[in-house]
Amino acid sequence: MTDVVRYERRGATGVITIDNPPVNALGIPVRKGVFACLDRAEGDADVTALVLIGAGRCFSAGADIREFSRPPEPPTVREVIEKIRDCPKPVIAAIHETALGGGLELALGCDYRIGAPSARVGLPEVKLGLVPGAGGTQRLPRLIGVGPALRVILGGEPVPAAEALALGILDEVVEGNLADGAVAFAERVVAEGRPAHRTRDLEAKPPKAPDAPDVFDRARKGIGRRARGLIAPDLCIESVENALRLPFDEAMRKEREFFVRCRESDQSKAQRHVFFAERQAARIPDVPADTAVISIRRAAVIGCGTMGAGIAITFANAGIPVHVLDVSREALDAGLGLIRKTYAAGVSRGRISEADREARMDLITGTADYAGIRDADIVIEAVFEEMDLKKKVFQTLDRVCKADTILATNTSSLDVNEIAVTTARPEKVMGTHFFSPAHVMRLMENVRGEKTSKETVASVMGLSRRLGKIGVLVGVCDGFVGNRMYHAYTREANFLLEEGALPQQVDKAIYDFGFPMGPFTTGDLAGLDVGWRIRQRRAKTRDPDERYSPIADRICEMGRFGQKTGAGWYRYEKGGRTPIPDPEIEKLIVGVSDELGIQRREIGDREILERCLYALINEGAKILDEGLALRAGDIDVIWIYGYGFPVHRGGPLFHADTVGANVILDAVRRLHGTHGAAFKPAPLLERLAREGRGFHQG
Ligand code: 3HC
Ligand code: NAI
């Protein structure tokens, strides 16, 4: 009926097929097409039932997210669902792979839903800062009860076929050809004379144990910390609550109102930006999608400490066999012990099954001998952060590994080019900068050296995806993109201490902005000694005229390295992880202010936020101008997935656009006057302010 929706007859069943690659998003042509097919089927006297099915990769990924920034054009998804409701013939949705958001809502509007074993259904709108907008908050509670519906809507995760069947979202799971199964199902419905089965006509099912009686209060508490400052989760709960207390049509009107409020919010705009930025990051302009890649069947990790262990787990979790090598049998045993402990924690928290743990452990082999890793397709080095040591390891790897093995380093600050040229294959050398804990954090900063080949870049970017990570390509500079910006941010946080703030105040302002924790709590968690060592190494090259805060060094000199030593910026109860403000640190900070002749003053949260965030943004602008990141969105993705920048603020450069380049430039100029070189305005920021543009426009 349109290019993207087909109608055909199979016996007395009309089959409507959505064929809108890649994911059958419900854009205008699809909605018009389904609408027209329903019209045609209604008028076709020989048709007794209808099947709605998706061609290609999935049933449907829901509304076309790109359309949300334009005025809606009829028919809306809701209007298509109303058309299904008014159809006098039973309509059966046949789902394979994903039915998400509006895709599932469309299926919920049908009389019956059958799924292939591959089906996964869900309402992920909350992850885009939205409330389901086409009846999801009304039909799902009617179908499966408010408790399970809240879990599906607030979690946003897809529910696999077997669970969807048990919950009652699917009526049947069909093996074999789905279209054939759906037509057979439709014929049975007609033959048995089953009545229309409209979800809207069902009573919303009140909570049952274990959800009763305070399901909504518990849902609100449950999302608590995670949903701090977010609009959508609360509105999702309220909308599901409406399913119990309001008539269907009124509750639907409310749902629409909530959806529009969310859609127009900066939060949802930020989350939609992140959705697309994440996907865009995979595209490298000079490395076409069809670039030849090395197939990675086996991997190896050198150094099985904190990072090496996490990286090995990441490979095993993705089903890729991995050898781990450490300097001695004892070090290796300690590393393997760390891996076992991590998996044991996963089992005891119910995250993985005992069988999965065993299967994954079977993929990890310890070795103290380089001969064991000769055939690896990629080796990731994660030994101590020392240039000479890394060079030595790379020379050994170059000698023992097969000619096409990719040699990658997990260095967080060293020059990848310098490492690469110590080998005879610099084109196969790259940085793969994982974040701690490596098996949890989704970011991989993939560092492209001067000589890295396109094939190596494409192979490593592809590997990131296979590992379930988000790979972002960056260039070589001190700290790469993320840590270079992080340095600017924490440096400013330290200056704030010298001027009158305390760690707990800075941390609270940053936490309230939406980060999971502030810079000082983060420092204590990560360990303060690492940064101390890096600062000592850089001391010789530091510009003596540049402002430098000695507070962090003084804390390390006291042997306070953070949580692992029971004290850092904060103190900790024995074995505890809760940061407790420490009068000793306050004394140290006040002492430093005195020493530097700084008159301490009251510093407000607004100043804390502006200075920390603008330092971050200004550095990000320099990085972008220097071509070390490909696009502003890449920097946003790095900060969201590597440093916990609040997703509803879209990343530092998206946030900058909501503030305005001119406002930030004014502040940066002021700070440049008081703090010197660190706040030299980035030329890009000056250009944007002059041209009235944002990082993401033009
Ligand atoms: N709208 C527009 N484009 C979409 C889309 C959508 N709903 N879902 C995916 N795409 C695009 C992606 O941007 C990507 O485009 P690109 O190739 O140009 O980069 C392409 O489709 C393929 O997507 P992925 O790379 O993500 O493919 P995967 O196979 O890894 O994942 C997926 C497929 C699980 C469907 C994933 O794309 C996804 O989660 N999509 C979003 C689902 C979603 O959030 N749906 C709710 C939308 S809001 C809604 O329905 C409102 C309603 O309540 C009214
Ligand atoms: P770690 O100290 O926990 O582990 C290093 C491991 O390397 C130890 O097991 C050690 O025995 C082993 N090792 C040392 N010399 C070796 C050699 N010659 N051959 C084989 N193994 C050897 O260190 P961590 O924290 O895991 O860091 C490793 C690398 O990852 C460093 O380059 C670091 O900068 C980087 N990194 C660290 C992050 C973190 O948060 N810890 C985050 C991102 C990167």
Q: Coil, strand or helix: which one is 328?
A: coil
Instruction: Looking at the structure, tell me whether residues 183 and 206 fall in a common domain.
Output: yes
Q: Is residue 280 part of a domain?
A: no
The CB of 133 under 6 Å from ligand 1? The reply is: yes
Hey, what are 4's tokens? Answer: 């993207």
Amino acid at 362: D
Q: For residue 19, give Cα distances in angstroms to 57, 112, 176, 361, 663.
A: 9, 21, 20, 42, 47
CA-to-CA distance for 397 and 404, rounded, in angstroms? Answer: 12
Distance from the CA of 559 to the center of ligand 2, in angstroms? Answer: 21
The CB of 640 under 6 Å from ligand 1? The reply is: no
Distance from the CA of 264 to the center of ligand 1, in angstroms? Answer: 19
CATH number at residue 444: 3.40.50.720
Distance from the CA of 644 to the center of ligand 1, in angstroms? Answer: 23
Per the CB < 8 A criterion, the answer to whether 372 and 325 are in contact is yes
Ligand nearest to the CA of 107: 1
The CB of 303 under 6 Å from ligand 2? The reply is: yes
Ligand nearest to the CA of 445: 2
Instruction: Looking at the structure, tell me whether residues 249 and 108 fall in a common domain.
Output: yes
Instruction: Looking at the structure, tell me whether residues 357 and 452 fall in a common domain.
Output: yes
Nearest atom in ligand 2 to the alpha carbon of residue 307 is: 26
Ligand 1: which residue has its CA nearest to atom 20?
A: 22
Where do the DSSP E strands lie in 257-416? 299-302, 322-325, 364-367, 378-381, 406-409
Ligand 1: which residue has its CA nearest to atom 35?
A: 61
Among 474, 497, 524, give the residue marking a domain's end. 474
pLDDT of 226: 80
Instruction: Looking at the structure, tell me whether residues 303 and 359 fall in a common domain.
Output: yes
The CB of 101 under 6 Å from ligand 1? The reply is: yes
Catalytic residue among 97, 125, 255, 492: 125
Identify the bridge partners of residue 429 per DSSP, sorted by sequence position.
Answer: 407
CA-to-CA distance for 609 and 620, rounded, in angstroms? Answer: 16
Ligand 1: which residue has its CA nearest to atom 38?
A: 61
Nearest atom in ligand 1 to the alpha carbon of residue 78 is: 54
The CB of 453 under 6 Å from ligand 2? The reply is: no
Distance from the CA of 382 to the center of ligand 2, in angstroms? Answer: 5
pLDDT of 412: 92
Q: How many CB atoms lie within 10 A of CB 36?
A: 17
CA-to-CA distance for 381 and 435, rounded, in angstroms? Answer: 14
The CB of 277 under 6 Å from ligand 1? The reply is: no
CATH number at residue 574: 1.10.1040.50
Residue partners of 349: CB distance under 8 A and separation at least 6: none
Nearest atom in ligand 1 to the alpha carbon of residue 62 is: 50
Number of separate domains in the chain:
3
Instruction: Looking at the structure, tell me whether residues 434 and 549 fall in a common domain.
Output: no
CA-to-CA distance for 400 and 403, rounded, in angstroms? Answer: 9
Catalytic residue list contains 157: no
The CB of 385 under 6 Å from ligand 2? The reply is: yes
pLDDT of 534: 83
The CB of 470 under 6 Å from ligand 1? The reply is: no
Q: Is residue 178 part of a domain?
A: yes
Distance from the CA of 367 to the center of ligand 1, in angstroms? Answer: 42
Instruction: Looking at the structure, tell me whether residues 450 and 517 fall in a common domain.
Output: no
Catalytic residue list contains 187: no
Per the CB < 8 A criterion, the answer to whether 132 and 238 are in contact is no
The CB of 25 under 6 Å from ligand 1? The reply is: yes
Ligand 2: which residue has its CA nearest to atom 9?
A: 305
Hey, what are 88's tokens? Answer: 């006098």
Ligand 1: which residue has its CA nearest to atom 42?
A: 61
Ligand nearest to the CA of 339: 2
Nearest atom in ligand 2 to the alpha carbon of residue 389 is: 18
Q: Is residue 524 part of a domain?
A: yes
The CB of 100 under 6 Å from ligand 1? The reply is: yes
Identify the bridge partners of residue 2 per DSSP, sorted by sequence position.
Answer: 5
- Measured in whole angstroms, the distance separating CA 95 from the mean position of its chain's CA atoms is 26
Q: Is residue 293 part of a domain?
A: no
The CB of 351 under 6 Å from ligand 1? The reply is: no
Amino acid at 390: K
Among 211, 239, 263, give the residue marking a domain's end. 263
Catalytic residue among 105, 241, 445, 619: 105
The CB of 465 under 6 Å from ligand 1? The reply is: no
The CB of 301 under 6 Å from ligand 2? The reply is: no
Instruction: Among 65, 105, 261, 637, say which to mutate for ligand 1: greatest number of ligand atoms within 8 Å of CB.
Output: 65
CA-to-CA distance for 629 and 576, rounded, in angstroms? Answer: 39
Half-sphere exposure of 108 (CA within 13 A, CB side): 34
Q: Is residue 81 part of a domain?
A: yes
Nearest atom in ligand 1 to the alpha carbon of residue 282 is: 19
The CB of 124 under 6 Å from ligand 1? The reply is: yes
Among 474, 491, 509, give the residue marking a domain's end. 474
Q: Is residue 347 part of a domain?
A: yes
Ligand nearest to the CA of 525: 2
Ligand nearest to the CA of 79: 1
DSSP assignment of 428-485: GEEEEEE-SSTTT--EEEEEEPTT--HHHHHHHHHHHHHTT-EEEEE--STTHHHHHH
Instruction: Among 20, 23, 100, 261, say which to mutate for ligand 1: greatest number of ligand atoms within 8 Å of CB.
Output: 23
pLDDT of 698: 61
Ligand 1: which residue has its CA nearest to atom 26?
A: 279
Instruction: Looking at the structure, tell me whether residues 493 and 458 fall in a common domain.
Output: no
Which residues of the chain fall short of a pLDDT of 50?
none
Ligand nearest to the CA of 132: 1
Instruction: Looking at the structure, tell me whether residues 506 and 420 fall in a common domain.
Output: no
CATH number at residue 115: 3.90.226.10
Domain carrying residue 186: 5-263
Where do the DSSP E strands lie in 470-603? 470-474
Distance from the CA of 16 to the center of ligand 2, in angstroms? Answer: 56
Nearest atom in ligand 1 to the alpha carbon of residue 131 is: 53
Residues composing the chain: 698
Q: Is residue 610 part of a domain?
A: yes
Ligand 1: which residue has its CA nearest to atom 46?
A: 101
Taking each continuous run of H as one helix and of E as one strand, the counts in the chain are 28, 17
Closest CA to 320 of 291, 299, 348, 342: 299
pLDDT of 362: 98
pLDDT of 202: 77
Instruction: Looking at the structure, tell me whether residues 554 and 465 fall in a common domain.
Output: no
Instruction: Looking at the structure, tell me whether residues 401 and 368 fall in a common domain.
Output: yes
Ligand nearest to the CA of 25: 1
The CB of 395 under 6 Å from ligand 2? The reply is: no
Distance from the CA of 584 to the center of ligand 2, in angstroms? Answer: 32
Nearest atom in ligand 1 to the alpha carbon of residue 63 is: 50
Distance from the CA of 337 to the center of ligand 2, in angstroms? Answer: 16
Instruction: Looking at the structure, tell me whether residues 381 and 417 fall in a common domain.
Output: yes
Hey, what are 205's tokens? Answer: 């099912």
The pTM for the full model equals 0.95
The CB of 66 under 6 Å from ligand 1? The reply is: yes
Q: Is residue 287 part of a domain?
A: no
Instruction: Looking at the structure, tell me whether residues 214 and 355 fall in a common domain.
Output: no
Distance from the CA of 411 to the center of ligand 2, in angstroms? Answer: 9
The CB of 98 under 6 Å from ligand 1? The reply is: yes
Nearest atom in ligand 2 to the alpha carbon of residue 411 is: 32
DSSP assignment of 497-517: HHHT--HHHHHHHHHHHT-SS
pLDDT of 209: 66
